[in-house]
Amino acid sequence: MPSKAILEQKQQVVADLAEQIKNSVAGVLVQYQGITVEDDTKMRKALREAGVSYMVQKNTLTGRACDIAGFGEIKPYLNGMTAIAVSEKDEISAAKILKQYDDKIESFKILAGYIDGNVVDAETVLKLADIPSREVLIGKFLGSIKSPVYKFAYALQAIVDKDGEAAPEAEAAAPAEA
């Protein structure tokens, strides 16, 4: 049986992880087996820059933390070498970054995740990863708003240009008749 100090330490790890999960908007559970140190370092750096916490914990500790946070449905996915990426602000940044490694490394797999208080499967996480970034979506939205206005202005300019060409012809025809 573990000592009291070790039990307290594990309880603190579970409490801290549960608090992180509760305060996050999304998380992704991965099987990180087979990733090289170089790729792992690059991935962790990209996750850190995106404001995502990436942790490797024992599955039992992660499972208990998920239970406390209300995501107990994720426990069946906690088999083998797993890690969890937790994002406090951006719902899709962790999924986007981890999908790159899921595509690149055969043994690295996205297992599941959670978003908006719901546990989702790997397929849903991968679909989230395919959503364009916020900036791209805003750009597309602004482009779609601008397009009808631009077409309207272009049509008005064509009418003005057409009327402008008709006016000199009308002036030229008027003196000839007089």
Residue 17 · residue 75 · CB < 8 Å: no
Task: Give per-residue pLDDT as tens, 122-166.
Answer: 999 999 888 887 788 888 888 888 777 778 887 888 888 887 665
C-alpha of 98 from chain center: 10
Please state, in angstroms and as integers, the Cα–Cα distance from residue 81 to each residue in 107, 160, 161, 165, 170, following that order: 11, 69, 70, 75, 84
Each residue of 61-103: pLDDT tens digit? Answer: 999 999 999 999 999 999 999 999 999 988 889 999 999 999 9
Which residue stretches of the chain are H helix? Answer: 4-22, 37-49, 59-69, 93-104, 122-129, 134-177
